[in-house]
């Protein structure tokens, strides 16, 4: 081969290799000084990785006294920044603060849909001079990352993210308390520019607590702040409450809420089991043991759920009351158990003695197992008083969470513990045992069957990967989007938000009786109300964070905006409460 032929061969191989590289890395775009690479799980998550070269840098969402925020917007869809890397804090010319990324930065993005969405990134890259830049990537051009690659990128990104927490501030003040932090220094950085007045932040340290207060400009309200310590960084969502409620008041709310929880639809099938057990055993002998056993079952079940909730909360997960029903495997298991209970009550199935004893106890003949089981199936429901108490508890430390859930458990156990203690009261209203008990048994098995069918329906919905919010025939529901809600609120528009889930029976009841009623439809049309739905049937960090921002951790929750302000509606609201 001639020298010219060898050179041509090398040129062709190099060109083909470059073309291949371009095909594989088509999701990377760059300026002269910054490279942007996107990774996706192919469903609803995208990680954007910025890489800056030769001493150039870009800025955090609050750039400080100079610079410009890095912004991400979506065409043909919506995008929300779930988290982003902790910025570096620099002081320029000894007087100007700036928060920037020097070498690299990760942004975790959530999109309800990825198909046909185009992401626009606007930022300014600076060194001795600053250059405004704009990069655009169509997500249809981004190949889904392999599982190993996605795991590596997500691990690398999460290592740079701050820990997300929620902190409470009084409605009439601007102050937060950072607890259980062993550090000599905290630096408070507002997540938004031009909200906090310059040099107005005051720090007060007391033991492991830091009290931080500030003044705002033009009565604005700060919703998020970055808290930097030498050991760790925290991104705090700030929740404002009307007044600082005492723990005793919260415990009272939780206790009353636990009592009322017995009247919620979710508990009906368990009540069937319990009533049937009481029908079979109205003796006074052993009543204290039965009442105590039932109460201990309720307490143990609540304790187990609370331990899991606190554990996930400490891991940075956004979880709330009824979180276990976001798992399709738990829902499927519960559906199967209820189906077996139904068949057992009708004596359609006959099990071996050991299995029959287990099912017999689970069906209500053992008070401890009845109490334990009653809590698991009651978790999709919330009720009056309970929502406020649980929402407040999740903004406090672990000891407060345990105290609130213990009060809730005692309130939940009280009515049926009293019935166990005084079965003669029930006996006065019931005839002597006879054939009528079999008819009652069949009647009480119906809600158990309905619950099993409902749980199978929830399971099927959760397993459907492309499940989307269904629009009602005459009302148009939008998928929850905080950016749209903020813009509409700024214009003084009327907005209604429904936090719901298919596993929440109260939600489904209200959907049929309230949200699909002609009165509600007429009100929406007459007042031009914008409807948004946040479906928590499957776990969703964005919706969980939004729910927590309103001071709630259980559903249903209904929010109504009017003239730029919002109010949290009662669980069973009326149209007159919307018109107030």
Full set of structural domains in the chain with CATH: 26-158 (2.60.40.1250), 163-241 (2.60.40), 247-462 (no CATH), 477-579 (3.40.30.10)
Q: Is 474 exposed, middle or buried (0-12, 13-18, 19+ CB in 10 A)?
A: exposed
Is pLDDT of 157 > 80? yes
Spatial CA neighbour of 241 closest among 137, 80, 392, 73? 392
Is pLDDT of 36 > 80? yes
- pLDDT (average), residues 457-476: 57
pLDDT value at residue 320 = 57
- pLDDT (average), residues 29-58: 92
pLDDT value at residue 56 = 92
Percentage with pLDDT > 70 across the chain: 71
Question: How does pLDDT run across 76-104, given as a tens digit for each residue?
Answer: 888 889 999 999 998 877 778 889 999 99
Reported confidence tier of residue 29, pLDDT bands at 50, 70, 90: very high
pLDDT value at residue 37 = 94
Question: How does pLDDT run across 396-415, given as a tens digit for each residue?
Answer: 667 888 888 899 889 888 88
Question: CA–CA separation, 470 vs 479, rounded Å?
Answer: 10
- pLDDT (average), residues 154-179: 86
Q: Which of 120-134, 200-214, 372-386, 537-551 has the lowest mean pLDDT?
A: 372-386
Identify the residue with better confidence: 432 or 61: 61
Is pLDDT of 568 > 90? no
Question: How does pLDDT run across 270-305, given as a tens digit for each residue?
Answer: 665 566 656 555 555 667 887 888 888 888 888 887
Q: What is residue 501's DSSP assignment?
A: -
Question: How does pLDDT run across 335-364, given as a tens digit for each residue?
Answer: 776 677 677 667 665 555 555 555 455 444
463 contacts 335 by C-beta, under 8 angstroms: no
Helix, strand, coil share (%) of the chain residues, nearest 5: 45, 25, 30
pTM for the model stands at 0.50
Identify the residue with better confidence: 488 or 505: 488
């Amino acid at each position: 081969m001639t020298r010219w032929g060898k050179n041509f061969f090398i040129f062709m191989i190099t060109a083909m290799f470059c073309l291949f590289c371009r095909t594989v890395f088509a999701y990377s775009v760059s300026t002269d000084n910054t490279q942007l690479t996107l990774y996706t799980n192919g469903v609803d998550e995208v990680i954007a990785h910025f890489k800056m070269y030769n001493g150039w840098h870009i800025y955090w969402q609050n750039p400080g006294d100079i610079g410009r925020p890095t912004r991400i917007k979506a065409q043909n869809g919506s995008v929300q920044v779930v988290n982003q890397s902790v910025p570096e804090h620099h002081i320029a010319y000894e007087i100007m603060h700036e928060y920037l990324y020097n070498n690299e930065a990760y942004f975790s993005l959530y999109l309800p849909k990825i198909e046909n969405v185009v992401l626009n990134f606007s930022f300014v890259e600076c060194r001795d001079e600053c250059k405004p830049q704009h990069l655009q990537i169509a997500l249809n051009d981004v190949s889904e990352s392999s599982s190993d690659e996605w795991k590596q990128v997500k691990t690398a990104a999460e290592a740079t993210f701050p820990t997300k927490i929620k902190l409470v501030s009084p409605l009439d003040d601007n102050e937060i308390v950072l607890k259980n932090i062993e550090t000599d220094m905290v630096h408070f950085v507002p997540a938004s520019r031009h909200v906090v007045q310059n040099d107005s932040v005051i720090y007060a340290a007391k033991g492991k607590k830091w009290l931080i207060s500030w003044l705002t400009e033009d009565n604005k309200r700060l919703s998020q702040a970055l808290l930097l310590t030498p050991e760790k960084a925290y991104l705090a969502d700030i929740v404002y409450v009307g007044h600082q409620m005492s723990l005793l008041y919260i415990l009272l709310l939780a206790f009353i809420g636990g009592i009322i929880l017995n009247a919620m639809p979710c508990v009906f099938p368990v009540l069937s089991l319990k009533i049937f057990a009481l029908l079979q055993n109205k003796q006074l002998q052993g009543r204290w043991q039965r009442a105590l056993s039932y109460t201990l079952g309720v307490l143990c079940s609540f304790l187990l759920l609370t331990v899991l909730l606190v554990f996930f909360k400490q891991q940075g997960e956004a979880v709330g009351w009824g979180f276990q029903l976001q798992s399709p495997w738990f829902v499927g298991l519960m559906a199967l158990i209820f189906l077996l209970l139904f068949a057992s009550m009708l004596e359609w199935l006959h099990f071996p003695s050991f299995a029959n004893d287990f099912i017999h106890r689970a069906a209500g003949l053992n008070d401890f197992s009845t109490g334990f089981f009653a809590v698991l199936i009651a978790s999709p429901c919330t009720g009056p008083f309970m929502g406020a108490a649980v929402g407040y508890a999740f903004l406090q430390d672990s000891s407060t969470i345990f105290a609130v859930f213990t009060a809730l458990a005692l309130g939940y156990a009280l009515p049926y513990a009293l019935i166990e203690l005084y079965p003669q009261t029930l006996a006065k209203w019931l005839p002597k045992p006879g054939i009528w008990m079999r008819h009652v048994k069949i009647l009480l098995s119906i809600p158990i069957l309905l619950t099993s069918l409902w749980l199978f329906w929830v399971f099927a919905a959760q397993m459907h990967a492309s499940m989307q919010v269904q629009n009602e025939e005459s009302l148009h529901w939008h998928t929850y989007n905080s950016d749209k809600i903020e813009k509409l609120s700024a214009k003084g528009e009327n907005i209604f938000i429904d936090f719901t889930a298919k596993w929440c029976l109260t939600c489904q009841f209200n959907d049929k009786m309230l949200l699909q009623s002609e009165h509600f439809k007429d009100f929406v049309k007459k007042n031009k109300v914008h409807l948004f739905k946040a479906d928590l049937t499957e776990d969703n960090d964005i919706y969980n964070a939004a729910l927590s921002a309103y001071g709630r951790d259980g559903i249903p929750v209904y929010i109504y905006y009017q003239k730029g302000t919002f109010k949290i509606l009662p669980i069973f609201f009326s149209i007159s409460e919307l018109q107030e």
